[in-house]
Amino acid sequence: MSSTLSQASTPTPSPESVPSTAEKESADKPPSTFWNRPTLTGDWGGDRSQLAENGGTLRLYATGFYQGQWSGDQGSLSKHGQGKDFFTGGRIDALLDLDTSRMGLWRGGGFHLHLELEGGRLPGFRGGALWPVTTSAVLPLGSEEELVASSLYYSQRWGGTSLLLGKINVIDLLANDPFFGGWGIDRFMNLAFVAPPDGLVPPVIMGGILSQQIGEVSLSAMVFDPADQTNNYWVEDLFETGANVSLSAQWNGKAWNRPSNLGLTYTFSTEKKVDLEQILLPPGLQDNSGVSYPNNLSLQFGHTLFPSKVRPGKGIGLYGKLAGTSGNPNPIGWSFVGGISGEGMFANRPYDSFGIGVYYYNWSKALEDTIDPFLPLDNEKGLEIYYSFAITPWFILTADLQLIDPARANFATETVAGLRGKITF
């Protein structure tokens, strides 16, 4: 079931996977000391700046985790056994972007690579919850302690038009979002906030994204293979079972003189899914002739409440996403994810950030009725709070607390606490 449910939400297309980190401010005010520069390794004696001038940008992150379950029942979904113990884990992320314009080739082009290496004993699932409490412990899918290229794609811009083609980690496309995204190494840790599952979009897709900017409105279309492509590096066998299509329109402008956005996305699949009322039957006995194809309709919004006075473009904002489906064969009925996040709140701590988020997932009635005798389900509800302390701009220490009413019925409310340390090299 986890491979069906643990899927990422439709992103807002962007040709660049630029992280939400302190180095984005370095162009205007280059740091001059070890303690206030945006990266641990600095400018490499000028080589990093020279690389950027010639079209290359390399970002390297190492993140460590310490997390445990304070209260609640012992779950059966943890890949590391039972109990409420605290575990440690870690991961390395490397992102390389090549700009063909600066490389002296052709205008508007770009090549993008994201390498991920996840390791350690950090459990992703806790206490009967169906959504992983630690995204970085379950992604990339099925590739623990293996180096994976989760993004390997080409981008092209023509004025207000952009095209992405290849293998794309959809969480990369949420890198600039102030609330969602972050890979679990920035902002929230629970998958419900990092990439709100919708039952249709896998963590890594193979396909294309075309977007058009018209004033303050961005229109986009995604076409991709329905299956997760984490461990696939070639186009063979793509679209054999069908195709997923996502159409979206997003407005980015100002409301009440504050930066705001509002987006509507509809995603559907031509892949025939197993009827949820028959998922427990052997494949030879399943009759799916009357099953409709899965879909998802979502409304996403964001509004800046208090702009930052020390970091332009930052501040405290209100964000949310409301989504619904037609049910069977989508395991999700409807959901809401939202909350408040902020960055650049204090003049003496400009790189600190915080977030308070809640989520609610209502499962498809067909799924609940089918598995109820074996695995009774309730709606899953959760709260996550984090505060990120910038020890230096390149070393961020985050305290995280989650309170979850798990999907598995008769499981007690669980409390999960953790620490996360991220170094930008």
How far is the C-alpha of 48 from the C-alpha of 30, rounded, in Å?
12
**pLDDT score for 277:** 81
Q: Each residue of 337-377: pLDDT tens digit?
A: 999 999 999 999 999 999 999 999 999 998 888 888 888 88
pLDDT in tens, 226-244: 999 999 999 888 999 999 9
| pLDDT, mean of residues 62-89 | 76
The answer to whether 359 and 190 are in contact (CB under 8 A) is yes
Q: Is the pLDDT of residue 319 over 50?
A: yes
Note the pLDDT of residue 14.
43
The CA–CA distances, whole Å, from 358 to 96, 161, 340 equal: 33, 35, 9
Beta bridge partners of 114: 95, 151
pLDDT at residue 144 in the model: 72
CA angle 307, 178, 418 (to 5 degrees): 115
> Which CATH number characterizes residue 335's domain?
2.40.160.180
Task: Report pLDDT for 2.
Answer: 38
Q: How confident is the model at residue 73 (pLDDT cuts 50, 70, 90)?
A: confident
What's the number of CA atoms in the CB half-sphere (13 Å) around residue 162? 19
The closest alpha carbon to 37, from 51, 52, 25, 55, belongs to 25
CA-based R_g, the chain, Å: 21
- Tens of pLDDT, residues 398-407: 999 999 999 9
What local confidence, expressed as pLDDT, does residue 11 receive? 46
Domain hosting residue 324, numbered range: 2-424
Kindly report, residue by residue over 159-215, the tens digit of the pLDDT: 999 999 999 999 999 999 999 999 999 999 999 999 999 999 999 999 999 999 999
Q: How confident is the model at residue 349, as a pLDDT?
A: 95
Q: Calculate mean pLDDT across residues 127-146.
A: 89
Provide the domain count of the chain.
1
CB 380 within 8 A of CB 334: no
Stated pTM of the model:
0.89
Task: Give the ranges where 24-117 is alpha helix by DSSP (H).
Answer: 47-53
Q: Is the Cβ–Cβ distance between 11 and 265 less than 8 Å? A: no
Structure-token match 């607390």, residue found: 401
How many angstroms separate the CA atoms of 185 and 49, rounded?
25
Where is pLDDT greater, at 290 or 119? 119
User: What band does 272 get if pLDDT is binned at 50, 70 and 90?
Assistant: confident
